[in-house]
Amino acid sequence: MTPTPWLVVPAAGQGKRMGADRPKQYLDLAGEPLLRHTLRRLHAAFPEARCVICLDDDDRWFRNAWMPFAHWQRVSGGAERMDSVLNGLHAMAADANDPVLVHDVARPCVMPNDLQALYQATLESASGALLAMPVADTMKRDNGDGASFRTECRDGLWHALTPQGFRHGLLLRALTQAQRSGALVTDEASAIEALGLAPRLVSARRDNIKVTHPGDLGLAAAILSAQAGEIHKAESGHEIALAATRS
Ligand SMILES: Nc1ccn([C@@H]2O[C@H](COP(=O)(O)OP(=O)(O)OP(=O)(O)O)[C@@H](O)[C@H]2O)c(=O)n1
Ligand SMILES: C[C@](O)(CO)[C@H](O)COP(=O)(O)O
């Protein structure tokens, strides 16, 4: 039987690059706070999951009514994303072998197929897994003088996305070690790599963007709108399949 995943949703960021009057997770996206879209996508894929949401202690925007999960808890965010995630891992009553998926609240466009593929890989891979996509642009590195650049080889380069999934005990060990060493890891997979392990890359759709800069909000709205038909079709197909198994 497939186990139910734990979900950690880091949502304690300030959205400095967005530069809005509130953290970006509370900005309007297609008529609702961005955070609600993300939680709904996760809930649709994993309705029975236990969700831990990391929120800043001074957060005055979050509403309990927005949480679609029956089993959920709120934990304090930390100074950095990795500290928030670690707080979540400490707070959950998980066994070492339980699967945990970590998903940025700032990625509201993640699609059901990618969530399922990532979860399957998490269960299969001893080192965990992450959604990722191959770099498609020519890569430049500035020489530090603000004027000249050189071209980097892009062979084998991937963008790391979320969710990223691991067994609870492994991720707790990896992030604890990263925190103690003072290393600033920007995703969970980096902490696992520092243990000498290689999380599996799961090739993902390109529309699972992280809303980071002001223009990203309009882009996310366009993506959600373009995805609506696809999701509707998938849901209808699921219902037809369910009806067929009942008749
Ligand atoms: N101390 C922190 C920092 C970030 N996050 C979360 O980690 C995710 C990815 O971070 P990012 O996109 O950098 O969000 P912000 O930190 O809000 O953005 P910025 O760096 O522009 O301030 C977001 O869902 C954010 O809420 C968190 O839980 N705790
Ligand atoms: C976790 C992440 O979204 C993977 O791409 C990313 O590393 C978060 O980075 P940020 O600088 O904290 O936005």
Q: How far apart are CA 129 and CA 42, in angstroms?
A: 17
Check residue 2 and give its pLDDT. Answer: 85
pLDDT at 229: 85
**Which is it for strands 50-55 and 6-10: parallel, antiparallel or unpaired?**
parallel
Q: Nearest to residue 35, comparing CAs of 45, 44, 24, 43?
A: 24
Strand partners, 83: none
- Taking a C-beta distance cutoff of 8 angstroms, is the pair 208, 110 a contact? yes
Residue 242: which H helix or E strand, with range? helix 215-246
pLDDT along the chain (247 residues), means of 10: 94 98 98 98 98 98 98 98 98 97 98 98 98 96 90 97 98 98 96 98 98 98 95 69 54
CA 178, 15, 134, 51 dihedral sign is positive
- pLDDT number for residue 245: 52
Counting ligands in written order, the one closest to the CA of 133 is 2
In angstroms, the first-to-last Cα distance of the chain is 24
Task: Compute the radius of gyration of the chain from its Cα atoms.
Answer: 18
Number of other CB atoms surrounding residue 84 within 10 Å: 25
Q: Which residues line ligand 1 (CB under 6 A)?
A: 10-17, 23-25, 54, 77-81, 84, 104-106, 210, 212
Q: Considering every ligand atom, which ligand is closest to the CA of 209?
A: 2
The superfamily in CATH containing domain 6-129+160-246 is: Spore Coat Polysaccharide Biosynthesis Protein SpsA; Chain A (3.90.550.10)
Q: Map residue 74 onto helix, strand or coil.
A: strand
Cα of 187 from ligand 2 centre, angstroms = 6
How far is the C-alpha of 150 from the C-alpha of 133, rounded, in Å? 23
Q: Where in the chain are the domains?
A: 6-129+160-246
- Residue 236 C-alpha to ligand 2 middle, in angstroms? 33
24 CA closest ligand 1 atom index: 17
Specify the residue with its C-alpha closest to ligand 1, atom 9: 104
Residue 66's CB: how many other CB atoms inside 10 A?
A: 15
- φ/ψ of 184, rounded to 5, equals -95, 100
pTM score of the predicted model: 0.95
Tell me how far the alpha carbon of residue 15 lies from the centroid of ligand 1, in angstroms.
6
Structure tokens at 165: 């999934």
Instruction: Find the 147 Cα to ligand 1 centroid distance in Å.
Output: 30
Q: Which residue has the tokens 């945990």?
A: 100
The DSSP code for 111 is -
Among candidate residues 229, 227, 185, 232, the one with its CA nearest the CA of residue 86: 185
